[in-house]
Structure 1
Amino acid sequence: MEQYETLLAAVAAPAGDGREVFDPATGDLIAAAPADTTAALDDAVARAVAAQPAWAARSDEERRQALHRMADAVERSADALAELLSREQGKPLNGPNARFEVGACATWLRVTADTPLPTEVVVDDGTDYAELHYRPIGVVGVITPWNWPMLIAIWQIAPSLRMGNTVVAKPSEYTTLSGLALLAVLNQELPEGVLNPVAGAGDLGAALVVKPELGKIMFTGSTATGKRIIEASAGNVTRLTLELGGNDAGIVLPDADPVAIAENLFWGAFINTGQTCAALKRLYVHDSVYDAVCLALVEVAKAMPMGVGLDEQNVLGPLQNRMQFGVVDRLVEAAKASGARVLLGGEPDRDQPGNFYPTTLIADIDPQNPLVVEEQFGPALPIVRYSDVEEAIALANAADVGLGASVWSGDRDAARAIAARVQAGTVWINSHGGVHPMIPFGGVKQSGYGLEFGTEGLKSVSAPQVVNG
Structure 2
Amino acid sequence: MSAPNSENHPLVDGPLDPEHDAGASYVLEPGDVAALTGRLVATSGEAHEVRSPIDGAPLAHIPQSSEADVVEAFARARRAQAEWATTTYGHRQRLLLRLHDLVLDRQDEIIDLIVLESGKARKHAFDEPLHIALTARYYGRTLADHLASERKPGVLPGLTRVDVNHVPKGVVGVISPWNYPFTMALCDGLAALAAGNAVVAKPDAQTMLSGLFAAQLLEEAGFPKDLWQVVAGPGSRVGTSIIGCADYICFTGSTATGKLVAKGCAERLIGCSLELGGKNPMLVLADADIEKAAEGAVRAAFSNGGQLCVSIERMYVADAIYDRFVERFVSRVQAMSLGAGLSWDIDMGTLVSAAQVETAQKHVDDAVAKGARLLTGGRARPDLAPYFFEPTVLEGVTSDMTCFGNETFGPVVSLYRFGDEAEAIARANEGDYGLNASIYSRDGARARAVARQVKAGTVNVNEAFSATFASLAAPMGGMRSSGMGRRQGREGLLRYTETQSVATQRVVPIAPSFGMSDRAYAKTMTLGLRLLKKLGRA
TM-score range, shorter chain: over 0.9
Query: Equivalent residue for 1:123?
Result: 153
> Does the 8 Å CA contact 2:48/2:64 hold for their aligned counterparts?
yes
Could you list the per-position Cα deviations for residues 116-163 of structure 1 after superposition, in whole angstroms to 9, with x for gaps in the alignment? 314322326535432322111100000000111111222211110011
**Out of 445, 451, 460, which is 2:486 matched to?**
451
Query: Deviation at 1:300?
Result: 1.8
Q: Please list the CA deviations of residues 41-99 of structure 1 after superposition, one character each: whole Å capped at 9, or x if unmatched.
A: 11101101111110001111111112223334434432222211101111122x2x223
- 1:270-281 → structure 2 map (5 Å cutoff): 270-281=302-313
What CA distance in whole angstroms lies between the structure 1 residues aligned with 2:368 and 2:180? 30
Note if contact 1:285-1:383 (Cα within 8 Å) is conserved in structure 2.
Answer: yes
Cα separation, 2, equivalents of 1:314 and 1:264: 17
Aligned residue number for residue 138 of structure 1? 170
1:445: how far off?
Answer: 0.4
| Displacement after TM superposition at 1:219 (Å) | 0.4
Letter in 1 for 2:497: S
Q: Using a 3 Å threshold, how does the CA distance of structure 1 residues 386 and 205 change in structure 2: closer, same or farther?
A: farther
Distance 2:497 2:67 in 1: 27
Letter of the 1:293 partner, please give it.
F
Equivalent position to 1:70, from 78, 87, 99 = 99
Q: Distance in 1 between matches of 2:77 and 2:125?
A: 30
1:286 aligns with 2:318: yes
Give the CA deviation at 1:352. 6.8
Name the structure 2 match of 1:104: 131
Structure 2 equivalent of residue 84 of structure 1: 113
Shift of 1:417: 2.0
Give the length in aligned residue pairs: 465
Which structure would you say has the larger Rg? 2
Report the Cα distance in structure 2 between the residues aligned to 1:9 and 1:210, rounded to whole angstroms. Answer: 28
What is the Cα deviation at residue 440 of structure 1? 0.8
For residues 169 and 280 of structure 1, do their structure 2 counterparts lie closer, same or farther at Cα, with a shift above 3 Å needed? Answer: same
- Counterpart in 2 of 1:230? 262
2:282 partner SS: strand
**Residues in 1 aligned to 2:101 and 2:462: alpha-carbon distance in whole angstroms:** 34
| Deviation sequence 1:348-379 (CA, Å, 0-9, x none) | 23687521000111123225532221111111
Q: CA deviation at 1:31?
A: 1.7
Name the structure 1 match of 2:66. 37
Task: Show CA shifts across 1:154-202 (max 9, x none).
Answer: 2211110011100000001121122122212222322232000111121
Q: State the TM-score, normalized to the length of structure 2.
A: 0.82
Q: Which one of 334, 337, 342 corresponds to residue 310 of structure 1?
A: 342
Kindly state the Cα deviation for residue 340 of structure 1 after the two structures are TM-superposed: 1.6
* 1:66 counterpart letter in structure 2: L
Relative to structure 2, which stretch is displaced further, 288-297 or 186-195?
Answer: 186-195
Q: Which residue of 2 aligns with 1:398?
A: 430
Contact 1:404–1:424 (Cα < 8 Å) also in 2? yes
Q: Is it true that 1:466 corresponds to 2:501 in the alignment?
A: yes
Q: Quick one: distance in 2 between partners of 1:352 and 1:425? A: 36
Give the counterpart of 2:359 among 313, 327, 342: 327
Distance 2:125 2:449 in 1: 36
Question: In the alignment, is residue 54 of structure 1 matched against residue 87 of structure 2?
Answer: no
Contact 2:202 2:239 in 1 (8 A): no
How far 1:209 sits from its partner (Å)? 3.7
Would you say the 8 A contact 2:120–2:348 is kept in 1? yes
Q: Distance in 2 between matches of 1:261 and 1:352?
A: 28
In 2, Cα distance between equivalents of 1:262 and 1:174: 33
Once residues 84 and 229 of structure 2 are traced to their aligned partners in structure 1, the CA distance between those partners, rounded to angstroms, is 14
Give me the whole-angstrom Cα distance separating, in 1, the residues matched to 2:103 and 2:187: 14
Identity %: 35
Q: Which moved more, 1:98-107 or 1:246-255?
A: 98-107
Higher mean displacement: 195-204 or 137-146: 195-204
Conserved 8 A contact 1:132-1:465: yes
**How much has 1:281 moved relative to structure 2?**
1.3
CA distance in 2, matches of 1:418, 1:352: 41
Instruction: Give the SS at the match of 1:206.
Output: helix
Question: Would the aligned equivalents of 1:7 and 1:181 in 2 still touch at CA under 8 Å?
Answer: no
Retained in 2: the 8 A contact 1:249–1:405? yes
* Contact kept? 2:166, 2:498, Cα under 8 Å: yes
* 1:203 and 2:228 correspond: no
Aligned partner of 1:260 in structure 2 is: 292
What letter matches 2:93 in structure 1? Answer: R
Is this contact kept in 2: 1:8–1:84, CA < 8 A? no
One-letter code of the match for 2:60?
A
Distance 1:312 1:243 in 2: 29
Counterpart mapping for 1:376-415 below 5 A: 376-415=408-447
C-alpha deviations, 1:414-439, integer Å up to 9, x for none? 22222111111111112121112111
Matches within 5 A, 1:334-413: 334-349=366-381, 354-413=386-445
CA distance in 1, matches of 2:501, 2:311: 39
CA distance in 2, matches of 1:79, 1:327: 32
Q: Report the secondary structure of 1:57's partner residue.
A: coil
- What secondary structure does 2:463 align onto? coil
Whether the 8 Å CA contact 1:63–1:162 is kept in 2: the answer is yes
Over 3 Å counting, the alpha-carbon distance change for 1:446 and 1:77 in structure 2 is: same
| Structure 1 partner of 2:453 | 421
User: TM-score with structure 1 length normalisation?
Assistant: 0.94
In structure 2, the residue matched to 1:162 is: 194
- Give the aligned residue type for 2:500: Q
Change in Cα spacing, 1:369 to 1:286, as seen in structure 2 (3 Å) is farther
The superposition leaves residues 365-416 of structure 1 with CA deviations (integer Å, 9 ceiling, x where unpaired) of: 2255322211111111111122233222222112111011122222222222
RMSD: 2.0
- Higher RCO (CA-CA < 8 Å; seq separation 6+): 1
- Specify whether residues 367 and 391 from structure 1 end up closer, same or farther in structure 2 by C-alpha distance, changes over 3 A only: farther
Task: Say which of 156, 178, 190 aligns to 2:223.
Answer: 190
Contact in 1 for aligned 2:380/2:387 (Cα 8 Å): no
> 430-439 or 224-233, which moves further after superposition?
430-439
Which secondary structure state, in structure 2, belongs to the residue aligned with residue 91 of structure 1?
coil
Letter of the 2:228 counterpart? L
Moved more, 118-127 or 400-409: 118-127
**Contact map agreement 1:104 1:151 (CA 8 A) in 2:** yes
